[in-house]
Amino acid sequence: MAAGLAGAARHPSLPAMGMISRYDPRGGLADFWRVFRRPDPLRWPILAASAMLTGTMLYIFAPATMYAEPARPEITYVTSFAPDRTEEEIAAAIAENQRVQDALRRLEEQRVEERKAIYRSLGRATGLDVDAMEARIRAEEAAAEDARQTGATRALNPATDTASAR
């Protein structure tokens, strides 16, 4: 029986041990056709029962998908301030926050200055003229600030812009 199955004869284009030969449906279809062509009185009832069983399982296990309405979200409001605060308490909280922000800003400025000092010492160690570079950077920043101020003045007073263009 095994010698008569389609798996025994290989197609010449397929390799003997290749991956494609494991997934080739032609052998299975050929086997099915050989078995189904035999004169057996039960082949049609077995085929009908198999189709009905497959169809019933698909009907039962793959119904139409029904989505339920999503539940309405429950909103919780979080209040971080007491509703009965006085104006003095509000002013004190704002002042304290401003002190903290100022301290953080000063700390950041110190860190920036420390980094600049480290880079200055690195530049001097490698032979760069750090003072000339800083002077050039300050001049560029001053020119940019002057241009920004001039642009702001022109935006506020367009009459001076037309007078200076003549």
Structural domain spans, the chain:
1-7+21-49, 87-128, 129-166
Token pair, residue 149, equals 């101020």
CA atoms within 13 A on the CB side of 57: 5
Report yes or no: 7 and 31 within 8 Å, Cβ to Cβ.
yes
What is the C-alpha to C-alpha distance for residues 94 and 102, in angstroms, rounded to an integer?
Answer: 12
pLDDT score, position 37: 85
Q: What is the dihedral of CA 94, 99, 104, 105, to 10 degrees?
A: 90
Percent of the chain with pLDDT over 90: 45
The dihedral built from the CA positions of residue 137, 138, 141 and 146, taken in this order, carries a sign that is negative
What is the C-alpha to C-alpha distance for residues 48 and 115, in angstroms, rounded to an integer?
Answer: 83
Report yes or no: 124 and 117 within 8 Å, Cβ to Cβ.
no
Percent of the chain with pLDDT over 70: 80
Q: Which long-range contacts (CB under 8 A, 24 or more apart) does 9-15 make?
A: none
Note the pLDDT tens digit of each residue in 27-77: 888 988 888 888 888 888 988 999 999 999 988 888 777 788 889 999 888
Segment 70-87 shows an average pLDDT of 86
Report yes or no: 35 and 7 within 8 Å, Cβ to Cβ.
no
pLDDT for 125 beyond 90 = yes
Segment 122-145 shows an average pLDDT of 93
DSSP string covering 65-105: P-PPPPPPPPP-----S-TT--HHHHHHHHHHHHHHHHHHH
Segment 80-95 shows an average pLDDT of 90
pLDDT score, position 8: 52
